[in-house]
Protein backbone atom coordinates (compact mmCIF):
# COMPACT_ATOMS: atom_id res chain seq x y z
CA UNK A 1 0.00 0.00 0.00
CA UNK A 2 1.40 3.46 -0.91
CA UNK A 3 2.59 5.40 2.12
CA UNK A 4 -0.08 8.12 1.87
CA UNK A 5 -2.87 5.55 1.66
CA UNK A 6 -1.43 3.62 4.58
CA UNK A 7 -1.14 6.81 6.67
CA UNK A 8 -4.77 7.76 6.00
CA UNK A 9 -5.94 4.20 6.66
CA UNK A 10 -4.11 4.07 9.99
CA UNK A 11 -5.40 7.47 11.09
CA UNK A 12 -8.98 6.46 10.35
CA UNK A 13 -8.99 2.81 11.35
CA UNK A 14 -5.63 1.94 12.97
CA UNK A 15 -5.51 -1.08 10.66
CA UNK A 16 -5.76 -2.01 6.98
CA UNK A 17 -9.46 -2.75 6.50
CA UNK A 18 -8.69 -4.56 3.22
CA UNK A 19 -6.54 -7.20 4.89
CA UNK A 20 -8.00 -10.65 4.21
CA UNK A 21 -10.96 -9.16 2.31
CA UNK A 22 -12.42 -11.51 -0.29
CA UNK A 23 -14.88 -10.20 -2.92
CA UNK A 24 -18.14 -12.08 -3.27
CA UNK A 25 -17.97 -12.44 -7.06
CA UNK A 26 -15.34 -14.09 -9.22
CA UNK A 27 -15.54 -12.07 -12.42
CA UNK A 28 -15.21 -8.31 -12.71
CA UNK A 29 -18.08 -6.62 -14.57
CA UNK A 30 -18.63 -3.05 -15.72
CA UNK A 31 -19.20 -0.93 -12.63
CA UNK A 32 -22.60 0.74 -12.69
CA UNK A 33 -22.60 4.51 -12.37
CA UNK A 34 -23.34 7.86 -13.91
CA UNK A 35 -20.60 10.25 -15.13
CA UNK A 36 -18.04 8.48 -12.97
CA UNK A 37 -15.62 7.97 -15.84
CA UNK A 38 -15.65 11.62 -16.94
CA UNK A 39 -12.29 12.66 -18.43
CA UNK A 40 -12.01 15.65 -16.07
CA UNK A 41 -11.56 13.26 -13.14
CA UNK A 42 -8.64 11.44 -14.73
CA UNK A 43 -7.05 14.68 -15.93
CA UNK A 44 -7.21 16.47 -12.58
CA UNK A 45 -5.89 13.51 -10.64
CA UNK A 46 -3.00 12.99 -13.05
CA UNK A 47 -2.02 16.67 -13.05
CA UNK A 48 -2.68 17.55 -9.42
CA UNK A 49 0.01 19.86 -8.06
CA UNK A 50 -1.52 21.18 -4.84
CA UNK A 51 1.01 19.51 -2.57
CA UNK A 52 -1.15 16.62 -1.38
CA UNK A 53 -2.05 13.31 -3.00
CA UNK A 54 -5.36 12.76 -1.26
CA UNK A 55 -8.60 12.76 -3.25
CA UNK A 56 -12.01 12.67 -1.56
CA UNK A 57 -14.90 11.19 -3.53
CA UNK A 58 -18.24 12.06 -1.92
CA UNK A 59 -21.21 10.01 -3.07
CA UNK A 60 -19.57 7.03 -4.73
CA UNK A 61 -22.53 4.65 -5.36
CA UNK A 62 -20.90 1.39 -6.56
CA UNK A 63 -17.46 2.90 -7.12
CA UNK A 64 -17.26 4.08 -10.72
CA UNK A 65 -15.79 7.52 -9.98
CA UNK A 66 -13.58 6.17 -7.18
CA UNK A 67 -12.16 3.52 -9.48
CA UNK A 68 -11.61 6.04 -12.28
CA UNK A 69 -9.59 8.34 -10.04
CA UNK A 70 -7.70 5.55 -8.27
CA UNK A 71 -6.75 4.07 -11.63
CA UNK A 72 -5.48 7.48 -12.78
CA UNK A 73 -3.45 7.79 -9.59
CA UNK A 74 -2.00 4.31 -9.99
CA UNK A 75 -1.18 4.82 -13.69
CA UNK A 76 0.61 8.10 -12.93
CA UNK A 77 2.67 6.49 -10.16
CA UNK A 78 1.25 8.85 -7.54
CA UNK A 79 1.74 7.94 -3.89
CA UNK A 80 -1.76 8.74 -2.71
CA UNK A 81 -5.27 7.55 -2.06
CA UNK A 82 -8.93 8.13 -2.82
CA UNK A 83 -11.12 8.46 0.27
CA UNK A 84 -14.55 7.18 -0.71
CA UNK A 85 -17.44 8.69 1.27
CA UNK A 86 -21.01 7.40 1.10
CA UNK A 87 -23.76 6.16 3.37
CA UNK A 88 -24.07 3.23 0.95
CA UNK A 89 -27.81 3.31 1.58
CA UNK A 90 -28.93 4.82 -1.72
CA UNK A 91 -30.63 8.13 -2.49
CA UNK A 92 -34.38 8.79 -2.87
CA UNK A 93 -34.12 8.53 -6.65
CA UNK A 94 -32.30 5.20 -6.37
CA UNK A 95 -35.04 3.78 -4.13
CA UNK A 96 -37.74 5.07 -6.51
CA UNK A 97 -36.22 3.19 -9.45
CA UNK A 98 -37.41 -0.16 -8.14
CA UNK A 99 -35.56 -3.17 -6.82
CA UNK A 100 -33.08 -3.78 -9.63
CA UNK A 101 -30.29 -1.39 -8.60
CA UNK A 102 -29.26 -3.18 -5.40
CA UNK A 103 -30.20 -6.05 -3.14
CA UNK A 104 -31.83 -5.48 0.23
CA UNK A 105 -30.59 -7.97 2.79
CA UNK A 106 -32.94 -7.78 5.81
CA UNK A 107 -34.01 -4.38 4.52
CA UNK A 108 -30.48 -2.97 4.23
CA UNK A 109 -28.99 -2.18 0.78
CA UNK A 110 -25.88 -4.18 -0.09
CA UNK A 111 -24.19 -1.18 -1.72
CA UNK A 112 -21.19 -1.13 0.62
CA UNK A 113 -20.45 -4.78 -0.08
CA UNK A 114 -20.84 -4.15 -3.81
CA UNK A 115 -18.49 -1.16 -3.61
CA UNK A 116 -15.84 -3.18 -1.78
CA UNK A 117 -16.18 -6.00 -4.30
CA UNK A 118 -15.74 -3.63 -7.24
CA UNK A 119 -12.65 -1.95 -5.80
CA UNK A 120 -11.07 -5.30 -4.96
CA UNK A 121 -11.81 -6.75 -8.40
CA UNK A 122 -10.22 -3.65 -9.97
CA UNK A 123 -7.04 -4.35 -7.94
CA UNK A 124 -7.20 -0.94 -6.31
CA UNK A 125 -7.43 -1.76 -2.61
CA UNK A 126 -3.99 -0.19 -2.11
CA UNK A 127 -5.39 3.16 -3.25
CA UNK A 128 -8.91 3.33 -1.80
CA UNK A 129 -9.95 4.12 1.77
CA UNK A 130 -13.73 3.77 2.24
CA UNK A 131 -15.59 5.89 4.80
CA UNK A 132 -19.20 4.72 5.22
CA UNK A 133 -20.65 7.92 6.65
CA UNK A 134 -22.87 10.85 5.77
CA UNK A 135 -21.08 13.50 3.76
CA UNK A 136 -21.15 16.10 6.55
CA UNK A 137 -20.00 13.71 9.27
CA UNK A 138 -17.20 12.40 7.07
CA UNK A 139 -16.01 15.94 6.28
CA UNK A 140 -15.85 16.75 9.98
CA UNK A 141 -14.02 13.51 10.76
CA UNK A 142 -11.42 14.27 8.09
CA UNK A 143 -11.07 17.86 9.24
CA UNK A 144 -10.64 16.73 12.83
CA UNK A 145 -7.82 14.42 11.74
CA UNK A 146 -6.15 17.22 9.80
CA UNK A 147 -6.55 15.43 6.46
CA UNK A 148 -6.42 17.78 3.46
CA UNK A 149 -7.38 16.98 -0.12
CA UNK A 150 -6.04 17.96 -3.52
CA UNK A 151 -9.37 17.14 -5.18
CA UNK A 152 -12.87 16.73 -3.81
CA UNK A 153 -15.56 15.27 -6.05
CA UNK A 154 -19.08 15.78 -4.67
CA UNK A 155 -22.00 13.77 -5.98
CA UNK A 156 -23.94 12.85 -2.87
CA UNK A 157 -27.18 14.73 -3.45
CA UNK A 158 -29.10 16.87 -5.95
CA UNK A 159 -31.06 19.18 -3.66
CA UNK A 160 -29.85 22.79 -3.42
CA UNK A 161 -29.41 22.85 0.36
CA UNK A 162 -27.47 19.60 0.46
CA UNK A 163 -25.18 20.49 -2.44
CA UNK A 164 -24.35 23.88 -0.88
CA UNK A 165 -23.73 22.22 2.48
CA UNK A 166 -21.37 19.66 0.98
CA UNK A 167 -19.50 22.33 -1.00
CA UNK A 168 -19.01 24.39 2.16
CA UNK A 169 -17.93 21.46 4.32
CA UNK A 170 -15.41 20.08 1.84
CA UNK A 171 -14.06 23.48 0.82
CA UNK A 172 -12.65 23.60 4.35
CA UNK A 173 -10.46 20.54 3.79
CA UNK A 174 -9.45 21.43 0.23
CA UNK A 175 -5.82 22.51 -0.11
CA UNK A 176 -4.88 25.79 -1.80
CA UNK A 177 -4.58 25.06 -5.50
CA UNK A 178 -6.94 22.11 -5.17
CA UNK A 179 -10.11 21.45 -7.12
CA UNK A 180 -13.72 21.08 -6.01
CA UNK A 181 -15.58 19.11 -8.67
CA UNK A 182 -19.33 18.62 -8.65
CA UNK A 183 -21.51 16.38 -10.77
CA UNK A 184 -24.91 16.74 -12.48
CA UNK A 185 -24.62 20.34 -13.68
CA UNK A 186 -27.68 20.03 -15.90
CA UNK A 187 -31.04 21.77 -16.08
CA UNK A 188 -32.73 18.52 -15.07
CA UNK A 189 -31.04 19.04 -11.69
CA UNK A 190 -31.90 22.67 -11.01
CA UNK A 191 -30.79 22.48 -7.38
CA UNK A 192 -27.27 21.52 -8.43
CA UNK A 193 -27.01 24.31 -11.01
CA UNK A 194 -28.25 26.88 -8.50
CA UNK A 195 -25.94 25.64 -5.73
CA UNK A 196 -22.88 25.69 -8.01
CA UNK A 197 -23.59 29.29 -9.04
CA UNK A 198 -24.30 30.51 -5.52
CA UNK A 199 -21.23 28.84 -4.06
CA UNK A 200 -19.01 30.17 -6.86
CA UNK A 201 -20.22 33.69 -6.09
CA UNK A 202 -19.75 33.15 -2.36
CA UNK A 203 -16.07 32.20 -2.69
CA UNK A 204 -15.51 34.74 -5.47
CA UNK A 205 -14.02 32.29 -7.93
CA UNK A 206 -14.96 31.50 -11.53
CA UNK A 207 -16.95 28.38 -12.27
CA UNK A 208 -15.69 26.09 -15.02
CA UNK A 209 -18.26 23.85 -16.67
CA UNK A 210 -17.30 20.60 -18.36
CA UNK A 211 -20.78 19.10 -18.68
CA UNK A 212 -22.04 17.63 -16.48
CA UNK A 213 -19.16 18.54 -14.14
CA UNK A 214 -18.73 21.93 -12.48
CA UNK A 215 -15.26 22.83 -11.21
CA UNK A 216 -13.80 25.43 -8.85
CA UNK A 217 -10.13 25.87 -8.11
CA UNK A 218 -9.21 27.11 -4.65
CA UNK A 219 -6.51 29.69 -5.14
CA UNK A 220 -6.31 31.13 -1.62
CA UNK A 221 -4.76 29.54 1.44
For every one of its 221 residues, what pLDDT tens digit does the chain have, with 9 covering 90 and above?
779 999 999 999 999 999 999 888 755 566 765 676 899 999 999 986 544 599 999 999 899 999 999 999 999 999 999 999 999 986 656 555 656 776 667 666 788 999 999 999 999 999 999 999 999 999 999 999 999 999 999 999 889 999 999 999 999 999 999 999 999 999 998 999 999 999 999 999 999 999 999 999 998 65
Per-residue pLDDT at 96: 59
Q: Is residue 24 part of a domain?
A: no
Element (DSSP H or E) covering residue 168: helix 160-171
Pairing of the two strands 213-217 and 174-182 = antiparallel
Q: Is residue 30 part of a domain?
A: no
Other CB atoms within 10 Å distance of the CB of residue 103: 12
Per-residue pLDDT at 107: 63
Q: Is residue 26 part of a domain?
A: no
Q: Is residue 19 part of a domain?
A: no
Q: Is residue 21 part of a domain?
A: no
Per-residue pLDDT at 181: 98
What distance in Å separates the CA atoms of residue 126 and residue 120, rounded to the nearest whole number? 9
Q: Is residue 90 part of a domain?
A: yes
Q: Report the chain's C-alpha Rg in angstroms.
A: 16
* Cβ 63 vs Cβ 120: under 8 Å: no
* Cβ 138 vs Cβ 41: under 8 Å: no
Structural domain total, the chain: 1
* Cβ 175 vs Cβ 150: under 8 Å: yes
Identify the CATH number of the domain in which residue 184 sits.
Answer: 3.40.50.150
State which residues form the domain around 212: 3-14+36-217
Q: Is residue 61 part of a domain?
A: yes
Element (DSSP H or E) covering residue 210: strand 208-210
* Cβ 49 vs Cβ 177: under 8 Å: yes
Please name every residue paired with 138 in a beta bridge, in sequence order, or none if there are none: none
Q: Is residue 29 part of a domain?
A: no
Amino acid sequence: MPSVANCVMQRLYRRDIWRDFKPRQNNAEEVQGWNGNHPSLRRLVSSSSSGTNVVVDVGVWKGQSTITMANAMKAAGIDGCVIAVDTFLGSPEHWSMGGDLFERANGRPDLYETFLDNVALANLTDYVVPVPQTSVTAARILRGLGIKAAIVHIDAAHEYEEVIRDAEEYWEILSAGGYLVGDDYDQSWGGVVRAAGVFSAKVGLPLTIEPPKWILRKVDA
